[in-house]
Amino acid sequence: MLLHKIRLIVVTISVIIIPCILLAQEMPRRQLHQKLARAKAERFSGLQAATVEQTQNQSDYDVTYYDIDIDIDPTTETVSGTITMVAEVLSASLSQAEINLLDNMTVSQINGTAGTLVYTHSNDMITVTLDRIYNLGESFTDIIEYSGTPNPSFEAFNFDKHDGNDMIWSFSEPFGARSWWPCKDIPSDKPDSVDIRVTVPTGLIVASNGTLRNMSSDGSTDTYWWHEKYPIATYLVSVAIHPYKTFSDWYHYSSTDSMEVQYYVFPDHYDYIQDYYAKTVPAIELFSELYGEYPFLDEKYGHAEFMWSGGMEHQTITSLGNCGEYLIVHELAHQWWGDMITCNDFHNIWMNEGFAVYSEALWTEFTYGKEMYHHEMLKSKYFGEGTVYVPDDSDYNRIFDVHLTYDKASWVLHMLRHVVGDSIFFDILHSYHDDTRYRYGTITTEQFRDVCEDVSGMQLDAFFQQWIYEEYYPNYIYQWTTNNNGGSWNIELTIEQTQTNHIFTMPIDVAVETAFGDTTLVVQNSLAVQHFSLTVNGEPTGISLDPDEWILCKVEYPTYTGFQLLQNYPNSFNLNTRIPFCVPERSFVTLQVYNVEGKLISTLTNREYSPGPHWVTWNGTNNHGQVVSSGMYFYRILAGNNIASKKMLMLR
Which residues neighbour 356 within 8 Å (Cβ) at sequence distance 6 or greater? Answer: 2, 313, 330, 331, 333, 334, 337, 338
Residue 531 to residue 469: CA distance in whole angstroms: 28
Alpha helices, H only, 168-269: none
Q: Which stretch binds Zn ion (CB under 5 A): 24-32, 97-105, 350-358, 493-501?
A: 350-358
From 73-81, 349-357, 375-383, 421-429, give the range in contact with Zn ion by CB under 5 A.
Answer: 349-357
Per CB under 5 A, the segment of 1-9, 91-99, 189-197, 559-567 that binds Zn ion is 1-9
- Residue 2 C-beta: closest distance to Zn ion, Å: 4
Residue 351 Cβ vs Zn ion, minimum distance, rounded to whole Å: 11
Cα distance between the two ends of the chain: 44
CB of 636 to Zn ion, least distance (A): 57
What is the smallest separation between the CB atom of 171 and Zn ion, expressed in angstroms? 12
Q: How far is the CB of 1 from Zn ion (least distance, A)?
A: 5
**Least separation in angstroms between CB 402 and Zn ion:** 11
Question: Site size for Zn ion, by CB under 5 A?
Answer: 4
Q: Closest separation between CB of residue 314 and Zn ion, Å?
A: 12
Closer by beta carbon to Zn ion, 329 or else 551: 329
- 279 vs 418, beta carbon nearer Zn ion: 279
Kindly tell me which of 2 and 232 has the beta carbon lying closer to Zn ion.
Answer: 2
Among the listed ranges 184-192, 351-359, 463-471, 552-560, the one in contact with Zn ion (CB under 5 A) is: 351-359
C-alpha neighbours within 13 Å on the C-beta side of residue 454 = 12
Instruction: Write out the H or E segment, with its range, that includes residue 80.
Output: strand 78-89
Q: Which of 1, 47, 63, 390 touches Zn ion by CB under 5 A? A: 1
d(CA 458, CA 517) in angstroms, rounded, equals: 31
- Of 48, 619, 4, the residue nearest 312 (C-alpha): 4
Q: Is the CB of 356 or the CB of 512 nearer to Zn ion?
A: 356
Quote the CA–CA distance of 131 and 95 in Å, as a whole number.
8
Residue 399 binding Zn ion, by CB under 5 A: no
Tell which residue, 267, 263, 259, 317, has the closest CA to residue 288.
Answer: 259
> Are 195 and 237 in contact, with CB atoms under 8 Å apart?
no
The helix/strand/coil state of 405 is helix
Range in contact with Zn ion (rule: CB under 5 A) among 196-204, 224-232, 346-354, 368-376: 346-354
CB nearer Zn ion, residue 1 or residue 72 = 1
Stretch that binds Zn ion, among 76-84, 345-353, 365-373, 607-615 (CB under 5 A): 345-353
Q: Between residues 66 and 336, which has the closer beta carbon with respect to Zn ion?
A: 336
Q: 279-315 as b/e, with b when 16 or more CB fall inside 10 Å?
A: bbbebbebbbebbbebbbeebbbbbbbbbbbbbbbbb
Whether 81 contacts 223, CB under 8 Å: no
Site string for Zn ion, 242-271 (x = CB under 5 A): ------------------------------
Of 79 and 333, the one with the shorter C-beta distance to Zn ion is: 333
Residue 332 or 416: which CB sits closer to Zn ion? 332
At its nearest, how many Å lie between Zn ion and the CB of residue 349? 9
Between CA 137 and CA 139 the distance in angstroms is 7
Instruction: Work out which of 259, 356, 468, 512 binds Zn ion, going by CB under 5 A.
Output: 356
Q: How far apart are CA 411 and CA 22, in angstroms?
A: 26
Reduce the secondary structure of 335-378 to three states and give it as a string. Answer: CCECCCEEECCHHHCHHHHHHHHHHHHHHHHHHHCHHHHHHHHH
Q: Which is nearer to Zn ion, 20 or 356 (CB)?
A: 356
Considering the complex, what minimum distance in angstroms separates the CB of residue 428 from Zn ion? 21
Smallest distance, Å, CB 330 to Zn ion?
A: 6
- Cα distance between residue 73 and residue 67, in whole Å: 19
Of 184 and 314, which has the nearer Cβ to Zn ion? Answer: 314
Q: Of the ranges 178-186, 296-304, 356-364, 558-566, which one interacts with Zn ion (CB under 5 A)?
A: 356-364
Window contacting Zn ion (CB under 5 A); options: 37-45, 348-356, 451-459, 616-624 = 348-356
Please provide residue 479's backbone torsions phi and psi, each rounded to the nearest 5 degrees. -145, 160
Phi and psi (nearest 5°) for 267?
A: -55, -35
Instruction: Quote the least distance from Cβ 318 to Zn ion, whole Å.
Output: 10
Stretch that binds Zn ion, among 140-148, 352-360, 604-612, 617-625 (CB under 5 A): 352-360
Nearer to Zn ion, 68 or 284 (CB): 284
Buried b / exposed e along 225-258 (16+ C-beta atoms within 10 A): bbbbebbbbbbbbbbbbbebbeeebebeeeeeee
Q: 370 to each of 112, 215, 366, how far by Cα in Å?
A: 58, 47, 7
Identified binder of Zn ion from the candidate list 2, 232, 341, 424, rule CB under 5 A: 2
**CB contact set of 53 (below 8 Å; sequence gap of 6+):** 186, 345, 393
- Which C-beta is closer to Zn ion: that of 409 or that of 593? 409
DSSP E strand stretches across 505-560: 506-514, 517-525, 529-536, 540-545, 554-556
Minimum distance between the CB of residue 313 and Zn ion, rounded to whole angstroms? 6
Q: Rounded to the nearest whole angstrom, what is the least distance from the CB of residue 310 to Zn ion in the complex?
A: 8
Between CA 317 and CA 171 the distance in angstroms is: 12
> Toward Zn ion, which CB reaches closer, 81 or 174?
174
Residues at the contact surface with Zn ion, assessed by CB under 5 A: 1-2, 353, 356
